[in-house]
Amino acid sequence: MKNATPAHSLYGRPATENASLAFSRGAKPATASGPYVGRNRCIADNDTCEGPKAKGTDFCIGHLRSMMKEQGE
């Protein structure tokens, strides 16, 4: 490889020294620009739940059950 740096010469330096901007401190993914968020996950708890959506709903089974309990069903 041309311009390769031996691994032992990088000892003591940050691993992200020459990394792209995606790895820079404070970088966050871009927000969605349209209605499609790009994942099939539950939207409860301000979109922090990572459970898969139940068929035909926007929530996971756990959140659906807890909502049914709250409604008294």
What was the pLDDT predicted at 58?
Answer: 86
pTM of the model: 0.44
Judge whether 26 lies within some domain.
no
What percentage of the chain exceeds 90 in pLDDT? 11
In the predicted model, what is the mean pLDDT of residues 25-48?
A: 72
How many other C-beta atoms can be found within 10 angstroms of the C-beta atom of residue 51?
15
* pLDDT of residue 45 exceeding 60: yes
Judge whether 28 lies within some domain.
no
Judge whether 64 lies within some domain.
yes
Q: Give me the domain span that covers residue 66.
A: 39-73
Judge whether 7 lies within some domain.
no
Mean confidence (pLDDT) of the chain: 76
Judge whether 10 lies within some domain.
no
Judge whether 57 lies within some domain.
yes
Number of domains in the chain: 1
Query: Hey, what are 36's tokens?
Result: 């499609």
Q: Pick 66 or 26 by higher pLDDT.
A: 66
Judge whether 6 lies within some domain.
no
What was the pLDDT predicted at 63?
Answer: 92
Judge whether 29 lies within some domain.
no
